[in-house]
Structure 1
Amino acid sequence: MSILYSSRRSFVFGLVGAAAFAGRPAFAGEMLKDIAQLKPGDYTWHPERAETGPVSVVVSIPEQRVHVYRNGIRIAVSTCSTGKPGHATPTGVFVVLEKDKNHHSSIYDDAPMPNMNRLTWSGVALHAGNLPGYPASHGCVRLPVKFSELLFGVTHIGTPVIIAGAHTDPWELTHPGMVLSGYAEQEFEQVVSSLDGKKHPSDWAAAESYPVTSVIVSSADRVIELIENDRVVARSKLTLKGGDALGSHVFVLNGAANDARGLRWSAITHSAAASPAMRDDAVMQRIGAEPAFVEAMQTRMHPGMTMVLTDAPLSPDSRSGKDFVIVTTG
């Protein structure tokens, strides 16, 4: 049950810190100075802050910290160790492709990699390992043993992992009506009915046949693709209002917002540019697709569905096996 796209893709996402957008903080009550003072091997874990809903992970390379969110609320922070010089950890948008509690490296002398969440088939993963207090791995993200065990318990195949040159907290937005099409009263009822019959990602098991869904939107190609696991199941011409650029955005679907008759999304990352056209809450109003694509997406939507928007092209030679989209700063 792994998802798609390439470790060779060189999308340019501005994964740099910016907090220009409105929305409540995802880490109320947690002092930044406490996070900064964590010693190698230290972590925080507060799952009670958000007990259910989609999980997302943000790895900040400069901070050497891993931030875990559920339903857009930060529930954990940990120290980590990323790639050393010559073995830099790639930055970008990944998803968990495979989980193995007792994994051993096939590249580095059968080295143990407990609680492994694989991010690329070429060997990058989240796993337990030594934390000296600086980047020291061969490209993986090493975690404290206990934290890696806790993280392993809340991730699933398809959990989005953003490895960034800086850290930005997600914030929640509500899109009125249905994404990719104009608002229609019956549309909302259909989508809510569909979502109600599906489980949250925290309930999914790798052995289940229920697929993980992703949507990839490219302004360069004017194309939008719908992905189930590692397969493109629908493709449409992209309708883009109000200019040629989308900016760089990652969204995770949290569920229905019945009071607003819309859908609740967590905006995990965004570009540093703060022009109105680039805002997370405005960009979703600008995109549209053909009716057949919208219908296909409606039937497959689920809490935890990921939508990636980019101004880079989706070229065929950038696809390799079952890797997901990698959006890199380099």
Structure 2
Amino acid sequence: MRGTGWKRLAGMAAAFGLAAAAQAVPFWGAKESRSADTMPSALAPGEWIWGGDDKAMGPMVMLVSLTEQRAYVYRNGVLEAVSTVSTGKPGHETPTGVFTILQKDKDHHSSKYNNAPMPYQERLTWDGVALHAGGLPGFPESHGCVHLPSEFARRLFGATTMGMTVVIAKDGVSHSDMVHPLLLSPVAASGADAAPVPLAADEPFRWTPDAAPQGPVSLVLSRSDQRLVVLRNGVEIGRTRVQLRRPGLVLGTHAYVMGSGYMQGTFAQFPQGRAPQWMAIAIPGHEDDAGRVLDRDAIDNVVIPAAFAANVYPLLVPGTVLVATDAGLVPQTTGARVQVVNADPPHTL
């Protein structure tokens, strides 16, 4: 009896172990971010880039390209993250269109597919389409959901809010700006079209502050385009040509946050001769930048039209983010695309 009892207990324990293993949630994709200078097309299945996030920096929007099998995340109109995805396979295609996050469930299990785990689920439709961590073979394999790498899905889950806009696009159905997005968001937080418009040949700069009367401000400097773009609350409100005294420099992508002080010395191109102090933010591939102050040579290298500078200067406050990149801002230009901008700013400046 005793031997039989122990065998029975051992069998029960083994069965329990198998059941527990069956309930274990898999981990999909890479555990760490690639460098911010990585082009989206260079990401292998399961790879992703995440530059950090700060909800105070403005509204977030996500764009999923079924054609590219990639997802792009924008904060305040500027790309901060990108990931490979796997979407609906033939017969279970992921629908295109503009969606909002209807429900969030960190530990969701499917009611349709044998209680399958769907970690960090963010529901887009009530009939079963959602963002969640899942398999990433490098091609569409889901039953309609958008599969994300586990660690990327975890970070996204913490950054999103209920009602946030998610746009799903593909060739032949959606505008090319949405299928092959770049550094600036082609859609507003509302889901409306917001494709960046290049300056006309006779247009030195554009200034439309009424497009977004209030909200956090971000600046994007493209060295390849020699353009400076100003965004407020996720909407472009200004764009200007700039002159680079050393246009041949290739420096990669760097992000900065404005401090409360000013640079020493006089800067002729800034109102009252004062230049804000900018402190580098750590982003993937440039972690050693953290806390480094932008030097005078870098500031002097960029010549901004005085009239445009006079418009922008009053909007700059501590915490404003500046991104300087070699990337192009519109499809007609060539610079390499980049991913990350709004990493967590330093606690002290």
Q: Same fold (TM over 0.5)?
A: no
TM-score, scaled relative to structure 2: 0.42
Greater Rg by CA: 2
Q: Which has the higher contact order (CA 8 A, sep 6+)?
A: 1
TM-score, scaled relative to structure 1: 0.44
Which has more strand, going by share of residues? 1
